[in-house]
Each structure stands twice: as structure tokens, then as C-alpha cells.
Copies of this chain bind each other. A is one copy, B any other.
Amino acid sequence: MTTKINFNSKFDKFHEHWSPKIIAEMNDYQFKLVKIKNEFIWHQHEHTDEVFIVIEGKIGIEFENETIEINEGEMIVIPKGKQHRPFAKQEAKIMLIEPRGVVNTGNIESEITAPSDQWI
């Protein structure tokens, strides 16, 4: 069955921060919605690039040498292996796109490491 997915309806289904929820798969890639607020941890993904699309609000991503602000209607590709730390001063709603099985904290095991298989 082919069904469309409404981002706002999916965002209404959860409230926690930094816990990606899978909404779709395309081949072996997954689309995940996340609500974020405050600072995440420094980490990197050794084996894959990662895409952030801001659906609502504004986020920042710190890299070693710069910080990039990303607003609603904007996206960024984080290159494989590049250290980064996302943050949002106020709650923001974002979509991540990455291969199936990628863990949110990348190379770091932390208390905020979330399961990588939560569908909504």
C-alpha cells in the first residue's frame, strides 16, 4: 500500500526530545522525525552522511570551526566522519534522513542514545 505521510500529524504523536521516530523507508534509507531542544552531544557518524531538514523552528549545528544556523525550509548534509553538535534554543521540529540502523549519538554511547528502530 502506498500512503502519504503528514509531518504535523506524526509530530503530534510524541513529545520527547532527541528521540528519532521513523516515519518512512526508501530503499535502505529512513526518514525520521525528531523534536529537539537544548544541546545534544558532540558525535560523528563514521560510515555515512546525514541530512537534517528543519520542518519548524530554528536549530544550530556546531562544527569544530563554525556554527551554522538552519531555519525552517532549510537543510544541511553533515559529511561522514564530521564531528558535530546540534542544538536548539527553543523546541524545533526536524527530519533526519540516513541509512537504516544509524544511531543518534553516532560513535558515542550515552544516556541520550536512543533506540534506532522506533516507528510512529
Contact = CB atoms under 8 A, between A and B. Distances in A.
**A interface majority secondary structure:** strand
Report, as a range, how many residues of chain A touch the other chain.
35 or more
A120 interface: no
Given A8-B73, A75-B24, A82 B48 contact: no
Contacts of A48: 27
A50 B70 CA distance: 25
Contacts of A77: 2, 24-26
Given A29-B29, A51-B31, A4 B70 contact: yes
Interface string A42-54: 0000001111000
Interface in A1-46: 2-8, 24-27, 29, 31
